Structure 1
Amino acid sequence: MPRLLAVCAVRQLREDDGPGAIGVTAIDKGPIDGAVKIGRFGAYGDVQADRRHHGGLDKALYAYAQEDAAYWEEELGRPLSPGFFGENLRTEGMDVNAAVIGERWRIGGRVEVVVTMPRTPCQTFARWVGGADQRGWVRRFSDARRLGPYLKVVKTGHIEAGDEIVVVSRPEGAPTILDVYRAP
């Protein structure tokens, strides 16, 4: 059964003065205890510092699979807790990279989201990974094709860790997020 392992929101805004940065990033996310309100712009208490590239209605939430995080833990040789990838939703038991554009998920009893697009890794993400792993990170992350999808919220409500995720509908013939992904 696919389920939600964690709902994450920004822990702290971080300075980010690298090339192309807006001066601050909200990539530092961590799990929230208990039920979390999900509105049209995402998780209550979260921040989207750069809505042009990482926010707005079509990118209200970002989902990343525990199975993909486990792959990166092995590759990087360190634990990567929920929120490390800047995700709002850490999932388990579903291949989020096989999701198709327009696919609709119900999380818990009420919240519904629609898959809109793949995440495109950026230099802010590379700087967040840090250290020796930063070098070539955008290409490495892209080449692994473990991107995770952005989601639009279509029914608001509350969700929490442990909630079941159900694929409510999947448009026939629609491309997967990996089909439409274009590496930077």
Structure 2
Amino acid sequence: MDTASLIAVCRVHQLLADPEGSVGVTAIDKRPVDGPVKVHKLGVHGDVQASRVHHGGEDQALYAYSQDDADYWTGELQRELPPGTFGENLRVRGIGTTDAVIGERWKIGLDLEVEVTSPRVPCATFQRVMDEPQWVKRFTQAGRVGCYLRVVKTGSISAGDHIHRLFVPKHGITVGKWFSDPTVEDVQTLLDAEADGEIRLQPEYHDEFEKVMRRAGAAY
């Protein structure tokens, strides 16, 4: 039985000054909003992507983080971490975000359909906002990174909506596996899945493929 649900929908509360960042401000300060909330191809209505150099755009329209991972960090950091703390748009329960398979599709509420695209890569802005020593290193080592989502079908969502898996690709590579331990075999598996039309990879993957192959001393 599918028991996954949406705990909160979050969007930018205010732009924060980030003079060390690429554009001088950050939209990482997300807070829950009352629904229903429309979700477009570029994300939650009223949200902002301050910089699209390293994130954003249609392939990273939404960022989802699971309550299980948030609970882990609550124990580690010994403080409350309400929805939006990680800059996420969606705080979810009962469905994995780090162990979601690349290309997996979900239906949220009555009509929104989304597709898992990639892991979240922590940045210096995230560390500054969290105000935790060595946060990027700790977040990376824990591997509880959550996932970005592409909007396949627009719609409106509210906290409490059910989340249903519509499709899970056969290749089986999760965003957490790709983030923490990508191998040459994983590269070939994803290339085969893309060639077979099972998934549609965002262009950045091919840059990452080259890096993985180079580290292994293989040609790409």
Cα gap change, 1:75 to 1:125, in 2 (>3 Å) = same
Partner residue in 1 for 2:11: 9
> Partners of 1:52 and 1:182 in 2: how far apart?
22
Query: Map of 1:1-184 to 2, 5 A cutoff?
Result: 1-18=3-20, 20-130=21-131, 133=132, 135-181=133-179
TM-score with structure 2 length normalisation?
0.79
Q: Which runs of 5+ in 1 are unaligned?
A: none
Q: What are the superposed Cα offsets for residues 47-103 of structure 1, whole Å, 9 maximum, x if unpaired? A: 000112121000000000111111111111111110010000000112211111110
Normalising by the residue count of structure 1, what TM-score does the alignment of the two structures yield? 0.94
**How many matched pairs?**
179
After the TM superposition, which segments of 4 or more aligned residues of structure 1 sit over 2 Å from their partners?
none
The 2-side partners of 1:141 and 1:41 are apart by 26
Q: CA RMSD in A?
A: 1.2
Shift of 1:182: 5.3
Report the Cα distance in structure 2 between the residues aligned to 1:156 and 1:61, rounded to whole angstroms: 12
Q: Is the 8 A contact 1:21 1:124 kept in 2?
A: no
Could you report, residue by residue, the CA deviation over 1:120-165 in whole angstroms, capped at 9, with x for unpaired residues? Answer: 00000000001xx2x2110100111110000000100100100001
Whole-Å Cα distance in 2 between the matches of residues 150 and 113 of structure 1? Answer: 10
1:102–1:174 CA contact under 8 A, matched in 2:
no
Query: Is the CA contact (8 Å cut-off) linking 2:44 and 2:62 kept in structure 1?
Result: yes
Identity of aligned residues (%): 54
Superimposed CA distance per residue, residues 6-38 of structure 1 (whole angstroms, 9 cap, x where no aligned partner): 0000000000012x5320000000001120000
**CA distance in structure 2 between the aligned counterparts of 1:144 and 1:113, rounded to whole angstroms:** 26
Higher-Rg structure is 2
Extract unaligned runs of 5+ from structure 2: 182-220
Greater relative CO (CA pairs within 8 A, separation 6+):
1
Residues in 2 aligned to 1:182 and 1:175: alpha-carbon distance in whole angstroms: 11
> Within 2, Cα distance between the matches of 1:145 and 1:181?
7
